Amino acid sequence: MNDKNVRVRFAPSPTGPLHMGGVRTALFNFLFARKHNGSFILRIEDTDQMRFVPGAEEYIIESLQWCGLHYDEGPGVGGPHAPYRQSERSAIYRQYAERLVNAGWAYYAFDAPEELDQKRKEAEAQGKSFAYDALSRQHMKNSLSLPESRVRELLAAGTPHVVRFKMPPDEEIVMHDLIRGEIRVKTSTLDDKVLFKADGLPTYHLANVVDDFLMRITHVIRGEEWLPSLPLHVLLYRGLGWEDKRPEFAHLPLILKPNGQGKLSKRDGDKMGFPVFPLQWKDPETGEVSMGYREQGYFPEAFINMLALLGWNPGTEQELFTLDELIQAFSLDRVNKSGARFDPEKARWFNQQYLRKRPAPELVRLFLPVLQSKGVRADENTVERIVETVRDRAVFVSDLWDHSWFFFQRPETYDPAIVKKRWSEQMPEWLSSLIAHLEKLTSFTAPEIKQAIHDFAEAKSIPAGNLMNCLRLCLVGSSMGPDLALICEILGTEEIKQRIEKAVAVIGNGVH
């Protein structure tokens, strides 16, 4: 393969938000392009006006940006084959549909939608399904069944018509897929697909093949759901005389539901409580909101890393990859044929790993707005120490608050179970002598604090466990949180003293 020539495209239809399967397709195209120093192109396939959803294209572009999958050519970026939005290329396609008709690879079909409906109903009544194919086309209203003069009349009168592909009868098509190897399909199982619609626009099949050719695409990497279209596409290349320029094909495995039963659907996420979309999406028609990885607090790097391993493996035990490492390691040979089960827990695990690796100042920068939203003001150095103390417990930046709020706010309540179990009548007195003892320390750092608490308990013959539990109760309100001495170090003696006083005032002698 001549690396310089590699050109791949991600070709979504803006019929809704991009599902994580779509992002994975974009990712694999991106990785393949970067690995081979080729070009990654975004092409918007919006010829189906019936399914157009406002905001979907912007959503797709924003998602790719968030994921760091920057494209070399496409809407907003331009390139030598602009425009990259099929609705702006509509003048291009008709000539190719005509070329296929003239070469005997396609024909005009004048059947009205009601007539087709009628045929479908008739077939259904006999327990069959209607197919417009090599067998039925002779009985339909088209340029193969009607006399030439009638066809000319109908065309001259501007009769609405479509162009259909004339599927050759009884041929076995042998195709090669870079992931699945050889695939054979008999044309007798295929129907005559519409290539060009009565509205003057091409269907997906024609526009997709024409654009892949015109944009000099070398490899088509797309989801498995497009595999059934492959024979038609291969034949279109033949019919258009481009067989020697045909790209190579790679169909990616499906992403399966967490239980492995069937394809992960757009609905699954909200049902099972995990995102399936990269960004939050609000349905413009129903107003229904679906959660997004970004809004749930995932780092884009973690999301991408998780997606890369859905259907691809590096052949080693390595799981954590930067985008550059993925580019180095990626190859289509290591993409699996079988479906990849999505594991939401694993997605969280990836985020946790990335959170652990993030430099503390960056976490602070991300955490400050959370603190602000809680009405907390704190200096960055203290926040950094706190973040360092609790980061290993968090999966998301927002979790940092749950694990550290007590550094910023005094507890309002005290866990009654601990009061009952550990508090005693002497406890207020013990705690106030303890704080007096701690105030005398010359160096107020965790190891000294820990030692001092133990020495104090021993000297006074107080059970150290109870003392420490109650001190934690005063500082945190419960038994949670990191190392007690560390909490003390960060809070400082003055704050500890005030918290003890408050707790003692609320709990009293503990007997209520």
Task: Please give the positions annotated as active site.
Answer: 266
What the block records as the tokens of 250 is: 């790679």
Q: Where are the alpha helices (DSSP H) in 3-131?
A: 20-35, 56-67, 90-102, 113-125
At 426, is the secondary structure helix, strand, or coil? coil
What gap in Å lies between CA 240 and CA 101, rounded to an integer? 10
Q: Site for ligand GLU (CB under 6 A): which residue of 63, 142, 143, 208? A: 208
Task: Pick between residue 164 and residue 222 the one whose CB is nearest to ligand GLU.
Answer: 222
Stretch near ligand GLU under the rule CB under 6 A, chosen from 5-13, 93-101, 176-184, 364-372: 5-13
User: Which residues, including other chains, have CB under 8 Å from residue 377's CB and lie 6 or more apart?
Assistant: 371
Stretch near ligand GLU under the rule CB under 6 A, chosen from 49-57, 151-159, 219-227, 389-397: 219-227
Q: Site for ligand GLU (CB under 6 A): which residue of 8, 13, 31, 309? A: 13
| Min separation Cβ 43 and ligand GLU, Å | 8
Task: Pick between residue 204 and residue 321 the one whose CB is nearest to ligand GLU.
Answer: 204
| Min separation Cβ 4 and ligand GLU, Å | 23
Compute the Cα dihedral for 307, 311, 317, 322 and give only its sign: negative
Stretch near ligand GLU under the rule CB under 6 A, chosen from 60-68, 123-131, 218-226, 234-242: 218-226
Q: Quickly count: other Cβ atoms within 10 Å of residue 251's Cβ.
A: 23
| Min separation Cβ 381 and ligand GLU, Å | 50
Stretch near ligand GLU under the rule CB under 6 A, chosen from 6-14, 307-315, 319-327, 451-459: 6-14
Q: Bridge-partner residues for 284, per DSSP?
A: none
Task: Pick between residue 51 and residue 337 the one whose CB is nearest to ligand GLU.
Answer: 51
Task: Pick between residue 11 and residue 323 the one whose CB is nearest to ligand GLU.
Answer: 11
Q: Site for ligand GLU (CB under 6 A): which residue of 222, 294, 472, 499? A: 222
Task: Pick between residue 247 and residue 339 the one whose CB is nearest to ligand GLU.
Answer: 247
What gap in Å lies between CA 288 and CA 469, rounded to an integer? 47
What gap in Å lies between CA 257 and CA 266, rounded to an integer? 10
Output the DSSP codes for 256-301.
Answer: EPTTSSSB--HHHHHHHTS--BSS-EE-TTT--EE-BTTTTT--HH
When asked if residue 224 is in the footprint of ligand GLU (CB under 6 A), the reply is no
| Min separation Cβ 197 and ligand GLU, Å | 15
Q: Site for ligand GLU (CB under 6 A): which residue of 6, 8, 11, 496? A: 11
Stretch near ligand GLU under the rule CB under 6 A, chosen from 10-18, 74-82, 300-308, 495-503: 10-18
Range 474-503, binding ligand GLU (CB under 6 A): none
Range 45-84, binding ligand GLU (CB under 6 A): 45
Q: Site for ligand GLU (CB under 6 A): which residue of 12, 21, 75, 247? A: 12
Angle formed at CA 173 by CA 172 and CA 179, multiple of 5 degrees: 135
In order of 316, 376, 466, 493, 495, the CA distances from 410 in angstroms are 48, 12, 21, 14, 9
On the question of a cis peptide bond just before residue 83, with omega within 30 degrees of 0, the verdict is: yes
Compute the Cα dihedral for 464, 470, 472, 478 and give only its sign: positive
Integer Rg of the chain from CA: 33
| Binding stretches for ligand GLU (CB under 6 A) | 11-13, 45, 204, 208, 220, 222, 226
